[in-house]
Amino acid sequence: MNGPKAKPALRVELLFYLTFLVAFALLVGVGTSQFALSIAPERGVVLVVLFVAIEVAIFVLYGRSLVTRLVLRPLSRIMATADSVADGDLAARAPDADTRDFASLAERLNRMTDRLLDAQSQLVRSEKLASIGRLAAGVAHEVGNPLGAVGTYLEVLRRRGTDKEITDGMARELDRLDRIVRSLLDYARPHEDPLVPVDPARIVRGAFELLRAQGAFRALHAQTDIFPQVPEISGRAHVLEQTLVNLLLNAVDATPPGGTIVIGARRWAYEPGAVQTRRAGDPRYSMFPRVVERRPSRIEFAAGQPGALIFVADSGSGVAPEDREKVFEPFFTTKEPGRGTGLGLAIVARSVHDMGGVVWVDAAREGGAAFKLFFPIALPR
C-alpha cells in the first residue's frame, strides 16, 4: 500500500512557479516584440510597449493568484484559527495545506491547542477533585457522628425486644450508610505514601489471582492478556491493586453468566487521539473498529509519552458514549438503586490521578466496556 504523498516545500513551489513565470515572460516579450515589428515597423515601438503592458498586467494577476493560493490563503486560515483559539474556542483546528511548510505550521498550532485543551481539562479536573474531596471529608465527618449514635439506639431497640424484621432492615440501611461514609473518606483522604517504581504486570496478575481464588469468576470466562516486557511505572502497589480489584468487581457485576472478562497490560506510547492497537490474541488481518476520540491527558505527557497501558474489558452491556465522562463523577451510577453508591469509579479516577496517570473508558472488543489506565514509564533514580 502506498503511503501518503509527500507535500512539496513552499520555497520549492515558489521557485518553480517564479522561474517558469520569468522564463515565460522573456519568451513572450521577445516573441511579441518580433511580431509587432514584423506587422507594423513604423509603429513597432508603440505596439511593443502596449503588448508589454498587457503581458505585465497578466503576469501580475497570475503572480497575485499564485501568492494568494500558496501563501496568503493558508496563512489567513491559520491566523483565523489562532484568533479563534485566542478567543477561547479550543475546539478550533487549522486545516491542512498544500505545502509542507504551512501543513507543518497548522499541525504545530493544532498540537499547541490540544496542549491548551489538556491543560484546561486537567486544571478543571484537579479543582473538581479538590473541591469534591473537601466536601466529601466534611460530609463524612458530619454524617459519621450521628450515624454512630443511630447505631447505638438500634442496639437499645434490639435489647428491648423490638420486631427483628424492623431492626434488621434498619441495620442493613445503616451498613449501607457506613459504606458510603467510608467511601467518601477513601475518596477525600490524600495518599501520603511516595510514588515508587512498580511492576504493573505483577500487580495485574496479583489482582486477577486474588479474585479468582475467592471464586469471583466462577460463572465467567476470565483471563489475562499481559504482553512481555511491560515497563515499570511510578505508583503505589497496594492502591493500584485495589483499583484493579474494583474495576474487576465492576466487570463481574456487568457481565452476564458465561460472559468474558479480560485484564491485561502492555508497553504503550500514549497519544490522546490515536486508534487503539490490537491485542496479543487478535488475528493480524483484523482491526476491531474504533472511533477516534480525544482521551483525557495531562500537561506532563509529551507526544508519544512512553509508559504502560492497563485495561479491564468485559462482555457486559457497556457504557453509553454520553456517559463515559460521567461514570468517574461521584454518585453517578447505572446500577439499580441500593446496589451501588456511585463512588467506586470516582475513587478509581482519584487514585489514578494521584499516581500521575489517566483513566478512560472505551467500547471493548468483547462488546462491553473497556476501562483503560495509562501511567508514564518510571524515571530512573
CA proximity to 5, closest of 70, 100, 105: 100
Confidence (pLDDT) at 381 = 61
Q: In tens digits, what is the pLDDT along the chain, a chain of 381 residues?
A: 454 567 777 677 777 777 877 777 777 767 766 666 676 666 656 666 776 777 777 777 877 787 787 788 888 888 888 888 888 787 788 888 777 777 888 888 887 877 777 667 667 666 766 676 677 667 777 777 787 788 888 888 888 888 888 888 888 888 877 777 776 666 666 666 788 999 999 999 999 999 998 889 998 999 999 999 999 999 999 989 989 998 999 999 889 999 999 999 999 988 765 545 555 555 443 333 444 455 666 767 776 788 999 999 999 888 888 888 788 877 777 666 556 566 778 888 888 888 889 899 988 888 899 999 999 998 766
Beta bridge partners of 234: 197
Identify whether the C-beta of residue 240 lies closer than 8 Å to the C-beta of residue 200. Answer: yes
Range 285-291, long-range pairs (CB < 8 A, 24+ positions): 288/365, 290/362, 290/363
Q: What is the pLDDT of residue 77?
A: 86
Domain residues of the chain, as ranges?
10-98, 195-376
Q: How many CA atoms lie within 13 A of 264 on its CB side?
A: 20
Phi, psi at residue 270, to the nearest 5°? -80, 130
C-alpha span between 237 and 11 (Å, rounded): 55
As a whole number of Å, the CA-based R_g of the chain is 33
Describe the strand order of the beta sheet including 260-270 as a list of residue ranges: 221-226, 260-270, 305-314, 369-376, 358-363
Q: What is the pLDDT of residue 314?
A: 93
Provide the whole-model pTM. 0.61
Enumerate the H helices of 290-355 as residue ranges: 344-354
How do beta strands 369-376 and 358-363 pair?
antiparallel
Q: Rounded to whole angstroms, what are the CA distances from 242 to 23, 191, 213?
A: 74, 13, 16
Instruction: Say which CATH topology domain 195-376 has.
Output: Heat Shock Protein 90 (3.30.565)
Place of cell 498550532: 109
User: What is the model's pLDDT at position 190?
Assistant: 61
Residues 6+ apart with CB under 8 A from 34: none
Best CA proximity match to 312, nearest among 257, 352, 358, 252: 252
Q: Which residue has the cell 481464588?
A: 213
pLDDT at 259: 92
